[in-house]
Structure 1
């Protein structure tokens, strides 16, 4: 791919206020196409693109990845056509990629495991990253590109996919960590400075979280699941996570596997069933509370009459 053409494309995406992670993905997708096929992207035919997409899917690409490749191709060739560099748009022939609805496979870590990682973290940086992922549900790119100016009092402005922004209220513990980190990088622009682009690469955030024994995506799912369990407001959780589609949010929120089986009991009119259901919920909350007290050296004792 011609370097000057690539830079023009990058500048156009930047002028459109596309997120840096999105720009990196677009350029990376085009360069992988060239290295795999040996065809220069700006000279590719509709058949070249179709063969690449079909071959990738046949080789085992995940539907989400194939959909992203198609999107990168369409954006690039629409730009080439608009700039008059090409008189056609070969990406128009690429069919839509169907992404089947799937249940998330990453297990959500237990609260005890998350608290242990948080309590034993050796630096403010590690604690803050864990909090941003597990409490506020931020993506690793959102963490990497978080600026000091994005905080206003107890709120954070988060720039997500497609450069869409959302504002999140920050809990007291995370706010204290943000203030401590601000003191460490007082004259910087980002909470997590890097050597090349001003901020660390999202892959670095990924590695830091993995070193704590957790997966960043699992921590984000933990934030979404807890938010839904406490509010039962799926549209609010959608806004909280920065999802464009409510269907995507439903993939992140883990429901109890026996949910459908419990509906009959929950809807029953007899008081005994209702009492047992409420008692079970209270017992679960008390057990979770007991785990938190144990970390402070205390133990609750439950007795029944």
Structure 2
């Protein structure tokens, strides 16, 4: 295999054999094609080329750099294992120092602004599924009437890593979705995309992100991205006193460390925590006797 097209086609089949999701495979292929355009031939590029690539974009977030470094290591290790390259230019890339990101959830007022800022019904449904159910954009994109138990008011969600979970639909979101199609996608594709011909499937996750981003900008909301609506799902449950374990389950996180990245603890919650400390009587003076 000397042609990058053949290499990537075989890698795609390899990832399918690993039972990775279509979204993961598509994302990895897109990224490696971008690397090839930016650095050159996948079979001849060097470690220095990859270092220059990793250091070239000052707009990437810390988590993006970590993700990209991992993706490069995964791909070039596979190339070496398959004997396509004898070396691995990604084996000793600089480690990306992890920086803890402060949670940045949208506020309830922000969400109200979006819903009342001229958003169409389709957009309002996306907002409701993002906030009230904590769905990710790719989960919103493929929401289908067949996934809903219309008697129990629950929805089956196909999340990351092909993990399936059943989530309850609260009263607020039920009012939004109860009249949606029971036999069909809730967000059908109005034009052809990479997965479906016109009208034969659902929109893609980037379409959901675009719709929500435009709605937020139109409402005058700055400093937030659509995923911050999902952060609000965790933060507002925490403010309401919901058990951390329940929040973790509702967010569908494997561990609590991930959940804490979404939860913003505000100053009044901190104040309440300090005020919960048992008071210890404070003497007015030391009562120490002076030495004679």
Q: What's the TM-score once normalised by structure 2's chain length?
A: 0.75
* Pair 1:257 & 2:260 matched: no
The answer to whether the 8 Å contact 2:105/2:264 transfers is no
Summarize the Cα distance change of 1:176–1:262 in structure 2 as closer, same or farther, 3 Å threshold.
closer
The answer to whether the 8 Å contact 2:21/2:161 transfers is yes
Equivalent-residue separation in structure 1 for 2:255 and 2:173 (angstroms): 27
What is the match of residue 257 of structure 2?
A: 247
The answer to whether the 8 Å contact 2:147/2:156 transfers is yes
The answer to whether the 8 Å contact 1:124/1:181 transfers is no
Equivalent-residue separation in structure 2 for 1:191 and 1:81 (angstroms): 44
Equivalent-residue separation in structure 2 for 1:221 and 1:264 (angstroms): 25
Equivalent-residue separation in structure 2 for 1:78 and 1:146 (angstroms): 36
Q: What's the TM-score once normalised by structure 1's chain length?
A: 0.72
Equivalent-residue separation in structure 1 for 2:46 and 2:161 (angstroms): 28
The counterpart of 1:222, out of the listed 229, 232, 242, is: 232
What is the match of residue 203 of structure 1?
A: 206
Instruction: Point out the structure with the larger helix share.
Output: 1
Residue 30 of structure 1 deviates from its aligned partner by: 1.1
Summarize the Cα distance change of 1:180–1:82 in structure 2 as closer, same or farther, 3 Å threshold.
farther
Summarize the Cα distance change of 1:249–1:42 in structure 2 as closer, same or farther, 3 Å threshold.
farther
> Where do 5+ consecutive residues of structure 1 fail to align?
271-305
> Where do 5+ consecutive residues of structure 2 fail to align?
196-200, 281-292
Summarize the Cα distance change of 1:211–1:52 in structure 2 as closer, same or farther, 3 Å threshold.
closer
What is the match of residue 192 of structure 1?
A: 187
1:32-71 aligned at under 5 Å gives the runs 32-37=34-39, 39-53=40-54, 55-56=55-56, 59=58, 61-71=60-70
Q: Report SS of the residue matched to 1:167.
A: strand
Summarize the Cα distance change of 1:150–1:75 in structure 2 as closer, same or farther, 3 Å threshold.
farther
Q: Report SS of the residue matched to 2:101.
A: coil
The answer to whether the 8 Å contact 1:136/1:223 transfers is yes
What is the match of residue 303 of structure 1?
A: none
Cα RMSD (Å): 3.0
Q: Which runs of 4+ in 1 moved over 6 A?
A: 119-122
Summarize the Cα distance change of 1:128–1:15 in structure 2 as closer, same or farther, 3 Å threshold.
farther
Question: Would you say how many aligned residue pairs link Structure 1 and Structure 2?
Answer: 261
Residue 137 of structure 1 deviates from its aligned partner by: 1.5
Equivalent-residue separation in structure 1 for 2:163 and 2:235 (angstroms): 22
1:149-168 aligned at under 5 Å gives the runs 149-153=146-150, 154-168=153-167
What is the match of residue 106 of structure 2?
A: 108
* Pair 1:26 & 2:28 matched: yes
Equivalent-residue separation in structure 2 for 1:61 and 1:207 (angstroms): 19
